[in-house]
Amino acid sequence: MATTAAAKRKPTPPLVPFRTHSPQPNASKDTPLTHVFFHQPTSTWTYLVVCPTTRKAAVIDSVLDFDPVTNTVSTETADGEVVKYWDSNEEPAVVLRGGETLRADVVIVADGVHSPARWLLTPHARKAAEKIPSGYSVHRSAISAEKLKADSRCSHLLDGTIRTWLGPDAHACTYPLDNGNGLAFTYTHRDDGSLASLDWRDKKPIAGMLKELQGWDPVLLAALSHFPSSLHWTIVDEKPEEEWISAGGRICFVGDSVHPMMPTAFQGGSQAIEDAAAIALCLALTGGRPDGVPLALETYEALRRPRIKEAQALGKLQQDLWHQYLPPPAARRRRLSRSSDSSTNAPGPSRPSLCPLTFALYDYDVENYVLEHFETFARAIDPDFVLKTSWREDAARKANIALD
């Protein structure tokens, strides 16, 4: 079994970010050479195909697939892109760029913030969720840890601990990845909107951010100096979308595509996973049948909205607490001046705890919650609904939950 699994694993990027694939021995003299470049900062491949006879060349976009064994390229991955949705109350479908149509009883969409699927499904008269500028932006990036491991100033940041640094109206976090083989960071700060954008590909050199962080912890600066660039995004306060389910009742959104989280919520991925678990149980609790899909999705939305609003509110409050923890430089100077006056020895106001507020969300068990409350929420939508004992037992068994 181990040998089979290894054979299916995708090849890892080479240590040397350049190599050439020569034609097979029996190939004609006009068979082109393929030069492969791996760009570490963006983790993408680029192919330069050169004709040895004419010396003409072409650069092939990295969205194409390349098979180094046969020295051929294909559009298999690109052809899998969803370009259209069929919103049907009987059998929804997605259409792929390659022309294939995939039909199903239910379609779950998880394509992230600025979801293209929402516009494909409702291109006209769509009521978008309100986006309120927060006045902040976030830098974020991730790299492999080879250079960090060799840097004694910051190699301990790979020990599995998430660390947070606070500054005046700003904070930075580092996150070890892949058992210490990578490191990610975020830096959130006040921004008037002139530099950051809502473009999720808005990448900038790291030098500008490091200049803003002058005077911060040398350990943090040493680690960030190994990052060549970072994404720079505007942070907006977004309420959950008004529409989580398509008009046909069988296409549903989960995660950031329907309820984006602020970075300080630390809940983007977590809430998407909870969404998925809730949908799976809701489908099972309506009998796992095609005719139960519409009620299952409506009940999922009703069950999840309060939880999402709580997580979003905690994220906003967390940023406010951290960014107000340290006063601005001018206020600190005034405080120091007052403290040097022997006539004013009264203690200052106590500071809030640094423990992340979202820790309060960690004891929640979404599967138990759905099993306990599904029937109540479902009957509020359809008073004639009856939850069969066999459906509940089957759902609990699939979730590995013991019923009372």
Contact yes or no for 68/33 (Cβ under 8 A): no
Phi-psi region of 31 (alpha: psi -120 to 50; beta: other; left: phi over 0): beta
Give the chain's end-to-end CA distance (angstroms, integer): 39
Q: Among 101, 110, 107, which Cα is nearest to 79's? A: 101
Distance between CA atoms of residues 324 and 168, nearest Å: 7
What are residue 45's DSSP bridge partners? 38
Q: What is the pLDDT of residue 260?
A: 87
Please provide the average confidence, as pLDDT, over all residues in the chain: 82
Distances (CA, A) of 358 to 46, 132, 157, 311: 41, 22, 22, 7
Helices in 174-238 by DSSP H: which ranges? 206-212, 218-224
CA pseudo-torsion sign 315, 321, 322, 324:
positive
What's the pLDDT tens digit per position in 271-283?
999 999 999 999 9
CB atoms within 10 A of CB 115: 19
Q: Which two three-digit tokens encode residue 241? A: 């979308």
Distance between CA atoms of residues 103 and 282, nearest Å: 21
* Vertex 36 angle, CA 35 and 38, to 5°: 150
State the span(s) of the chain assigned CATH 3.30.9.30.
Answer: 131-238
Q: What is the pLDDT of residue 74?
A: 76
Distance between CA atoms of residues 55 and 164, nearest Å: 53
Distance between CA atoms of residues 167 and 189, nearest Å: 9
Helices in 237-388 by DSSP H: which ranges? 268-285, 293-323, 329-339, 366-381
Q: What is the pLDDT of residue 116?
A: 84
Per-residue pLDDT of the chain (404 residues; tens, 9 = 90+): 223 233 333 444 444 444 555 555 666 777 777 877 775 554 467 778 888 777 777 877 656 676 767 777 777 777 888 889 999 888 999 999 888 999 999 999 998 877 888 888 865 555 555 667 788 989 999 999 999 999 999 999 999 999 999 999 999 999 999 889 999 999 999 987 667 777 766 788 899 899 999 999 999 999 999 999 998 888 887 788 888 999 999 999 999 989 988 888 878 889 999 999 999 999 999 999 999 999 999 999 999 999 999 999 998 888 888 888 887 665 544 444 444 444 444 444 566 677 788 888 889 999 999 999 999 999 999 999 999 999 999 999 988 888 87
Contact yes or no for 313/259 (Cβ under 8 A): no
CB atoms within 10 A of CB 265: 24
Distances (CA, A) of 166 to 176, 298, 326: 18, 41, 7
Q: Select the CATH number that applies to the domain covering 131-238 from these four: 3.40.50.2000, 3.20.20.70, 3.40.140.10, 3.30.9.30.
A: 3.30.9.30
Query: What b/e readout covers 127-145, taking b as 16+ CB neighbours within 10 angstroms?
Result: eebeeeebebbbbbbbbbb
Q: What is the pLDDT of residue 226?
A: 96
Q: Residues near 156 by Cβ (< 8 Å), separated by ≥ 6?
A: none
Amino acid, res. 356: P
Q: Which residue do the tokens 């019923």 mark?
A: 403
Contact yes or no for 109/253 (Cβ under 8 A): yes
pTM above 0.85, yes or no: no
What's the pLDDT tens digit per position in 366-394?
999 999 999 999 999 999 999 999 999 99
Q: Residues near 288 by Cβ (< 8 Å), separated by ≥ 6?
A: 391, 394
Distance between CA atoms of residues 48 and 66, nearest Å: 12
Task: Specify the DSSP element, H or E, that contains 101.
Answer: strand 101-103
Q: What is the DSSP letter of 323?
A: H
Q: Which two three-digit tokens encode residue 216? A: 């911060």
